[in-house]
Amino acid sequence: MAGIDVGVVLAGRFRLDELIGQGGMGMVFRGRDHILERDVAVKLVPPDIAAMDGAATARLNREIRVLAMTQHPNIVTVYDRGDHGGTLFVVMEFLRGPDLGDLLSQHGFLGVAEVITYGAQVAAGLTFLHGLPIPIVHRDLKPSNLLLNQDGTVKICDFGIAIAPGSNLERYTRVGAVIGTPVYMSPEQFQGEEAGPPSDVYSFGAVLYALLTGGPPFQDGADYLVRILGRPPEPVETFRPEVPRRLSALVHAMLAKSVDERPTAAEVLRELGEIVQPGDRERPEIPGPPTVAPPPPPPASGIDAAERLLTSGRTAEAYAAFGAARERQAERTPEYLTAEFGRVRAGHALGREAEAAIRWVRLVEQARQTLGPTHPLTQAIERFGEVTRSRR
């Protein structure tokens, strides 16, 4: 597509290095952040796709807003957003491992210990999302939306159709519309009803069923609607007799037709933890990380360490680390301004909004005077202020 290709630098900061995904909703590149010297994933919607399909832009805007409200080790982290000549883009952490759909395609099904290990991480992410003051419902959980990092951490991705019922998150799908991936969709979603946290639990149960048996509980077909609405799935042990009965029972409870009969994500997390405890059965061997090339080691820097703390959700520690890193830099250098910018972001995440706002105003003026208004860091600082103001 015109103007968007490998080698292009977005906002003077994010270089596109490799196209790693493409579809009707846009493209995803592996990129490089020149300021923080780290690999990133860049998802974008070029103008020609936006003109043909307004939902593509709506989905990306929704994903940005949802991810900006979340910070959890098992949820992909969003770093930045912007517009490059009419191309809307979002910058996220780059995950080097395969997704669980890839593993399923390669191996047919996964080992019980792997399913428990990966499933517990997904359950932790869902417990966080559903436990927010205004719960977030993903609405499209499936193996391909569960990505592995190089350390074996599972991350929930693709929040393009997520919803937070009761919030001011704009809706671009009407109630009554069937949205999601049919073979992992809950019965209520299939009937066009409003999806709540139990819908995610059903889809999660369908994912666990697929990982254990090699396929979702109901395959697409002429009588699919009849089966998903009225028939129980084949027992897991029909395909895998070695699966612990307790795990099989949990999966089938998650696939209950009635939302009131399904466990919560928190209950699933607790049950998965108990299944691997001694006394239930022999504790399975916990698998190591997937075999992928490790990333190059980041440069030793207090700023880099603070940034890793922030993106991993250790916000208070990040706030202190950015402050310490700033004190080690000469005033008004790019490194000093970067550390102060990190302190502003961490302070805002901690709820110190008034303090962060004051620091931000001073930081914008310092960056403009020191680096100039067109410098990527100056622009990133200004965009942060625009985004935080838009959320109020």
Per-residue model confidence as pLDDT tens digits over 207-252: 999 999 999 998 766 566 777 888 889 999 989 999 999 999 999 9
Residue 302 lies inside a defined structural domain of this protein: no
Check which CATH number belongs to the domain holding 235 and give it: 1.10.510.10
Is 60 exceeded by the pLDDT of residue 350? yes
> Are 125 and 264 contained in the same domain?
yes
- Reported as a single tens digit per residue, the pLDDT across 151-167 is 889 999 887 676 765 54
Cα→Cα distances 220→23, 108, 167, 187, 216, Å: 22, 18, 34, 14, 9
> Are 42 and 129 contained in the same domain?
no
> Are 223 and 346 contained in the same domain?
no
What's the whole-model pTM score?
0.65
Residue 63 lies inside a defined structural domain of this protein: yes
> Are 88 and 104 contained in the same domain?
no
> Are 182 and 200 contained in the same domain?
yes
> Are 235 and 341 contained in the same domain?
no
> Are 198 and 213 contained in the same domain?
yes
Is 140 one of the annotated active-site residues of the chain? yes
> Are 85 and 105 contained in the same domain?
no
> Are 72 and 133 contained in the same domain?
no
Residue 74 lies inside a defined structural domain of this protein: yes
> Are 84 and 109 contained in the same domain?
no
243/334: higher pLDDT: 243
Residue of 80, 99, 140, 200 marked catalytic: 140
Positive or negative torsion for Cα 167, 171, 173, 176: positive
Residue 224 lies inside a defined structural domain of this protein: yes
Is 80 exceeded by the pLDDT of residue 345? yes
Residue 282 lies inside a defined structural domain of this protein: no
Residue 185 lies inside a defined structural domain of this protein: yes
Cβ(200)–Cβ(265) under 8 Å? yes
Residue 339 lies inside a defined structural domain of this protein: yes
Residue 391 lies inside a defined structural domain of this protein: no
The count of other CB atoms within 10 Å of the CB of residue 248 is 20
Is 50 exceeded by the pLDDT of residue 178? no
Check which CATH number belongs to the domain holding 21 and give it: 3.30.200.20
Indicate the number of domains in the chain: 3
- Among 243, 275, 307, which residue terminates a domain? 275
- Reported as a single tens digit per residue, the pLDDT across 291-326 is 333 333 333 357 877 776 776 667 788 888 888 888
Provide the edge-to-edge strand list for the sheet that holds 78-84: 9-10, 14-23, 26-33, 38-45, 87-93, 78-84
Under the banding of pLDDT at 50, 70 and 90, the label for residue 77 is confident
Q: What residue numbers bound the domain in which 127 lies?
A: 100-275
- Tokens 């569960």 belong to residue: 146
Using alpha carbons, select from 37, 16, 39, 38 the residue that is nearest to residue 26. Answer: 16
pLDDT at position 97: 80
> Are 160 and 189 contained in the same domain?
yes
> Are 113 and 87 contained in the same domain?
no
- Among 71, 93, 115, which residue terminates a domain? 93
The amino acid that residue 29 corresponds to is F
Cα→Cα distances 378→361, 372, 375, 389, Å: 12, 7, 5, 17
- Among 39, 72, 93, which residue terminates a domain? 93
Which of 51-55, 79-83, 273-277 is most confident?
79-83
- Reported as a single tens digit per residue, the pLDDT across 20-36 is 887 656 788 999 998 88
